[in-house]
Amino acid sequence: MNQHNLGRTEIARKLIIDGQFVMPVDGQTFGTYNPATGELLATVAQGDARDIDLAVAAARRAFEGPWSRFTPFQRQEVILKFADLVDRQFEEFSMLDTLDMGMPITLTRARRQRAIGMIRFYASMCTAIGGRTLPNSLPGNVFAYTLKEPVGVVGAITPWNAPLTSTIWKIGPVLATGCTMVLKPAEDAPLTALRLGELALEAGVPPGVINVVPGLGTVAGAALAGHMDVDKVAFTGSDATGRRIIEASKGNIKRLMLELGGKSPDIVFADADLDKAVAGTGMGIFGNSGQICSAGSRLLVERSIYDAFVERVADFAKGLKVGNGVEAETQIGPVVSSRQMQRVQSYLGIGVDEGAEVVTGGNRLLEGPLAQGYFLEPTVMKNVGHTMRVAQEEIFGPVVTAIPFDGPDDAIRIANATVYGLGSGIWTRDVAKAHTVAKGIRSGTVWVNCYGMLDPVIPFGGYKMSGYGRESGQDHVEEYLATKAVVLQNG
């Protein structure tokens, strides 16, 4: 695919409001750039509060209009057609994600089964939504039951680090439940969301059901979060922005689903399969250049193997191929932007100042064909105390901090010594130990002898400041439904 013809046409770079491809009210645009080269990829329409108003009004009309009359089976048919279209165009989506945010093409292609499986899972849920009849103790002949109904207009704000799957995570339950949506994609990587909106229309989703309004988070995102005619906001991003969304939601007490930051522990016991653990913990942090909310950025290693294991992870990091994501041999791509590069480098300086030691990596690649991009060597830091800032704050880059521990209780204590609670990993051959530690860790997901594995039926979300609500699985669909009780007295 020619990177200068992204999303087929200029149509894919306009706002999508009420089934139409339109320019913003004020005609503003912004550029989206390839982080591997620094080159402009596309000029994208930049919506503001007035465009959000138009999109929300369209979503409300669609919610109360034709879309409300679709049967569960009809919604299912539309979603399955949408899945087929995305599947047919999957190579295009892989390249869009690679060019727009830098993820290696081998990784974006590897997400095909997950992405298409997610859409088809939501299709399966259309006909599984239902209420219950309720035995009750009311006097007389009283029949009571519940209905499950869509919550209404959803404002969705997605991150830049996994454009395809994070956008499907928002669109899927909206279509399954009969809600409507105004989607504000991240300004650093908006192209995939626009293309998905285009294909949703092609699949037969009625105008106004899925509206896509790119723009700045502080403008379009803020307007969406505070809009009085939005019934629910689903947000994935930083905890700082999550707090602002909570504040903005107070006007009409809108529902919130927040998937926020993480500082996930990846715990290696001395009795683990260490060969498997080296690669697993390494890619648990270095995959997608550490730009994953649940990345295993805190490597907790049992003290008896600490030095040797950290050295092995450092050797693994040195062997990873850093390069432009479009090249098949690339394992680690760039970070998404100059701003993100500066953030990661600043944390490396903070860590050294705190007393941590850089075992390997830490340098920006400034020579050869990668010099114009935002490439950073995979970095391993040791002699890290678990209270250091680099062990407590989300860096969101290819940097792992190695922390020693003494036994299961100490591992649990250190794992929980953070404000976050999104993901965690355990590496051990002892099944009883695995269950004990998994129960003790306060995180939404615990991976044992693996890391980062996701499936459409498995719920994903966090504890503490990693947010609330769950994505994937039946729990996710429930987040988009309201329960209505009906009490009927006969005679």
Catalytic residue IDs? 259, 293
Backbone angles phi, psi at 400, to 5 degrees: -115, 140
Dihedral angle sign, alpha carbons of residues 333, 337, 338, 339 = negative
User: How many angstroms from the chain centroid is the CA of residue 339?
Assistant: 20
By C-alpha distance, which of 79, 74, 60, 86 is closest to 179? Answer: 60
With 0-12 / 13-18 / 19 or more C-beta atoms within 10 angstroms meaning exposed / middle / buried, residue 218 is exposed
Angle at 156 between CA 152 and CA 162, to 5 degrees: 145
Token code pair at residue 438:
């998994």
Residue burial 303-316, b: 16+ Cβ < 10 Å; e: rest: eebbeebbebbbeb
Which amino acid belongs to residue 468? Y
CA 59 from centre of chain: 23
Supply φ then ψ for residue 214, to 5 degrees. -65, 155
Structure tokens at 326: 């479009």
Residue 304, CA distances (Å) to 271, 308, 400, 406 in order = 10, 9, 19, 8
